[in-house]
Amino acid sequence: MEIASSVALVTGANRGLGRAFAQALVERGAQKVYATARRPESVDLAGVEVLPLDVTDPASVAAAAQAAPDVTLLVNNAGISTGQSLLTGDLAEIRREMEVHYFGTLNVTRAFAPGLRGVVNVLSALSWFAAPGATSYAAAKSAQWGLTNALRLELPQALVTGVHLGVADTDMAEKIEGFPKLAPADLARIVLDGVERDEIEILADDWSALVKKALQEPGVFTMS
């Protein structure tokens, strides 16, 4: 996968990881970069084409696909974290996390599938375990990981890459303490380097590599 020959679209590109991805794609010479957000006016990057996109709204997804029919590289970055407990939390919020991470990723990938040569799904180390205060998020990310693996079967013409990371230094993680935080620009560099090497799974930091290794050991990986 050559970044310089791609036309890329990034979801949730108005801040955090999405903004870093869009900026890195521009800097690496992508032919065109569509930066999308639910509020397009919040995108402040130079060198991109801004589109409105709500990944949970089929009409919005269809409109974006019609406006950007030349997309070859899709970065499914849009995400939320509601901090819900699966048993006692707000069920509407739990559903919203699943709508964004699982169905949102599926909605956008389906809409752009015919022209895709690369798909990058931003997952999490929490795809593989659950932590207090993030059980709903972990379940949604686990579902998105399963979706990523399944898409490889249905998109044989495309490189489908799953990205796992611990904690990134973004607004979403500002209240998380006690873990090293990966700078968004560093993550974008690591991921795009991996995409250009045709990697189907990227462990972006030591934390995600540790969790992946623990899956192969006896017992259950937990956090308390």
pLDDT digits (tens, 9 = 90+) for 133-151: 889 999 999 999 999 999 9
Is 137 annotated in the active site? yes
**Which residues, including other chains, have CB under 8 Å from residue 156's CB and lie 6 or more apart?**
none
Using DSSP's 3-state secondary structure scheme, residue 72 falls into coil
Q: pTM for the full model?
A: 0.92
Q: Could you read off the pLDDT of 103-140 as tens digits, one per residue?
A: 999 999 999 999 999 999 999 989 998 888 889 999 99
Q: Could you read off the pLDDT of 2-56 as tens digits, one per residue?
A: 999 999 999 999 999 999 999 999 999 999 999 999 999 999 999 999 999 999 9
User: Do residues 141 and 127 touch, judged by C-beta distance below 8 A?
Assistant: yes
Assigned fold of 3-214? Rossmann fold (3.40.50)
The full set of domain ranges for the chain reads 3-214
Kindly list the distances between the CA atom of residue 152 and the CA atoms of 34, 113, 185, in Å, as whole numbers in the listed order. Answer: 23, 12, 27
As a whole number, mean pLDDT of residues 60-83 equals 96
Catalytic residue chosen out of the listed positions 71, 137, 141, 205: 137
Distance, C-alpha 25 to centroid of its chain: 15
